[in-house]
């Protein structure tokens, strides 16, 4: 059987080589058309209706998985089913396969132009955990607040630091982001004031979704972790830096982070990312045995940040110090169970170079300098009506495996 990531694969659906959604990708999402939500696969500028294919008998050995408003049931069934569905979809979309290509009636119903659909949250997220796994980002932030000598806390090189986020405020790309209000300490004043955040920021991240869950009391071994991860999305974990500065000691982020986290709509399977494995940063000291994952477990995913249509940062997911297998293994090492649809995010992804920092906090170095946009406007932190857009892709030979975009526009705080 031909690999679903073969660079020579071609689809009868037309797209150019810079499309994020070639036949080698096949991400899943939840779309609405004619008032009905169901699961589809993105191919070029079309969506393949998996619920329709299911009704027509293309997945005869499987339970009903796609005539639904979330991917959770599909995530729960695990890798053998994921592989079967991916192989079937890949075969149907190939340019040398007549079954769908030449069935005009089915093809016209099953392939829907993206301009005719509305995207929805792909997953009903039960729990959300946000990691802090970029050494460059952690070093930058630590340097700002504690000085260069104490930039990294003593535990940082030994474990993937994380905190539990708020799943109820994870929203789909395009959802407006309301400026939060909270307690803020201004200058050297002893007492805080209640006000709208003045230091609103983005955080360039990626996230992954849990497939089959785990049983309470039983950790997921690092070398089995990939069997519990279906795929990945782009994540913007918005942050109110002034609220965070006042509240974070001693327990870390709370109101500064819980007001919104944006994700992209199409979930890219790990299978599609397989050709883009690469070596991650050297880990020294050597992690404890339960965190030692064999092989190249990083991914070469190019990332870009745009503010008001100006490119302001270029990073890469391969810079992450702790990889997703280590993150999941550490998360469950206590016996904490995970469930289908749980989301885990990487934490801010910063490149070693200043042009690849993953937040305005770093790009403006805590607001001590201004970022100049193409329009000539200057920013230290986000203003009302600003729009932030992330995009990311893996570059293959003559094709891309991409994530599309995650975007959000800042709207004013409530009066």
Buried b (16+ CB within 10 A) or exposed e, 179-199: bbbbebeeeeeeeeeeebbbb
Q: Whose structure tokens read 């940062």?
A: 313
Residues contacting residue 366 through CB under 8 Å, at least 6 positions apart: 144
The answer, yes or no, to whether residue 325 has pLDDT greater than 90, is yes
Residue 108 sits in the same domain as residue 145: no
Whether residue 85 is predicted with pLDDT greater than 70 in this model: the reply is yes
C-alpha 198/C-alpha 149 separation (Å) is 29
Q: pLDDT tens digit string along 86-111? A: 999 999 999 999 999 999 999 999 99
Q: How big is the CA angle at 327 (ends 366 and 226), to the nearest 5 degrees?
A: 135
d(CA 101, CA 158): 52
Is pLDDT above 70 for 245?
Answer: yes
Residue 400 has pLDDT above 90, yes or no: yes
Res 294: pLDDT = 83
- Number of folded domains that form the chain: 2
Range of the domain at 65: 28-120
Both 171 and 228 in one domain: the answer is: yes
Q: Which two tokens stand for residue 11?
A: 């689809």
120 is catalytic: no
Based on the fold, state whether residues 102 and 170 are members of the same structural domain. Answer: no
Mean pLDDT confidence for 321-331: 98
H helical segments located in 289-403: 324-332, 360-363
Rounded to an integer, the average pLDDT of 314-342 is 98
6 occurs within a structural domain: no
**Both structure tokens of 387:** 């729009």
With 80 as the cut, is the pLDDT of residue 1 above it?
A: no
Mean pLDDT of 146-163: 94
Confidence of residue 2 (pLDDT cuts 50, 70, 90): confident
Residue 80: how many other CB atoms lie within 10 Å: 9
Question: What size, in residues, is the chain?
Answer: 415
Would you call the peptide bond into 285 cis, given omega within 30 degrees of 0 as the criterion?
yes
Is 78 a member of any domain? yes
Q: What is the pLDDT of residue 193?
A: 97
Q: Which of the listed residues 93, 120, 147 is the one where a domain comes to its end?
A: 120
pLDDT mean across residues, the chain: 97
Pair (47, 180) in one structural domain: no
Token pair for 200: 């609103």
| DSSP secondary structure of 345-359 | E------SSGGG-SS
What's the average model confidence in pLDDT over 359-370?
97
Q: What is the pLDDT of residues 257-280, one digit of tens each?
A: 999 999 999 999 999 999 999 999
Q: Are residues 170 and 84 in the same domain?
A: no
9 belongs to a structural domain = no
CA–CA distance, 119 with 286 (Å, rounded to integer): 43
CATH number at residue 39: 2.30.30.230
CB 299 within 8 A of CB 317: yes
Per-residue pLDDT, averaged over 301-307, amounts to: 98
Residue % of the chain over a pLDDT of 90: 96
CB 14 within 8 A of CB 7: no
Same domain, 45 and 175: no
Which pLDDT belongs to residue 157?
98
pLDDT of residue 82: 98
> Considering 20, 120, 137, 277, which one is annotated as catalytic?
137
The pLDDT value given to residue 293:
87
**284: which DSSP letter?**
S
Q: Are residues 106 and 149 in the same domain?
A: no
Model confidence at 214: pLDDT above 70: yes
pLDDT (average), residues 373-384? 98
Peptide bond into 250 cis (omega under 30): yes
Find out whether 11 and 24 touch, Cβ atoms under 8 Å: no
List the CATH number of the domain containing 205: 3.90.850.10
């Amino acid at each position: 059987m031909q690999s679903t990531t073969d660079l020579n694969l071609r689809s009868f659906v037309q797209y150019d080589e810079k499309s994020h959604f070639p036949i080698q990708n096949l991400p899943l999402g939840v779309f609405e058309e004619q008032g009905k939500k169901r699961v589809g696969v993105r191919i070029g500028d079309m969506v393949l209706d998996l619920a329709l294919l299911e009704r027509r008998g293309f997945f005869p050995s499987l339970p009903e998985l796609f005539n639904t408003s979330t991917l959770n049931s599909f995530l729960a069934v695990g890798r053998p089913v994921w592989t079967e569905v991916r192989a079937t979809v890949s075969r149907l979309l190939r340019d040398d396969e007549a079954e769908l290509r030449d069935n005009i009636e089915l093809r016209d119903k099953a392939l829907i132009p993206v301009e005719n659909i509305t995207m929805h949250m792909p997953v009903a997220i039960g729990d959300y955990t946000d990691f802090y796994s970029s050494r460059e980002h952690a070093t930058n932030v630590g340097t700002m607040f504690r000085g260069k000598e104490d930039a990294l806390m003593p535990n940082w090189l030994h474990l993937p630091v994380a905190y539990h986020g708020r799943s109820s405020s994870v929203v789909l790309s395009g959802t407006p982001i309301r400026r939060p209000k909270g307690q803020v300490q201004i200058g050297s004043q002893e007492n805080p004031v209640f006000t709208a955040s003045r230091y609103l920021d983005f955080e360039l991240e990626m996230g992954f979704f849990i497939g089959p869950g785990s049983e309470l009391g039983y950790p997921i071994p690092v070398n089995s972790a990939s069997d519990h991860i279906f795929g990945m999305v782009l994540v913007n974990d918005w942050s109110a830096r002034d609220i965070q500065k006042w509240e974070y000691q001693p327990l870390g982020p709370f109101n500064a982070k819980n007001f919104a986290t944006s994700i992209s709509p199409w979930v890219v399977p790990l299978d599609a990312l397989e050709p883009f494995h690469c070596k991650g940063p050297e880990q020294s000291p050597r992690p404890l045995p339960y965190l030692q994952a064999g092989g190249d477990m990083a991914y070469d995913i190019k990332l870009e940040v745009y503010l008001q249509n100006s490119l302001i940062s270029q990073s890469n997911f391969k810079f992450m110090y702790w990889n997703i297998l280590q993150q999941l293994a550490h998360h469950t090492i206590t016996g904490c169970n995970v469930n289908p649809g749980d989301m885990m995010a990487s934490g801010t992804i910063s490149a070693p170079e200043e042009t690849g920092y993953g937040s305005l906090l770093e790009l403006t170095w805590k607001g001590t300098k201004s970022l100049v946009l193409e329009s000539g406007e200057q920013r230290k932190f986000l203003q009302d009506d600003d729009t932030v857009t992330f995009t990311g892709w893996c570059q293959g030979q003559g094709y891309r495996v991409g994530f599309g975009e995650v975007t959000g526009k800042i709207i004013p705080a409530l009066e």
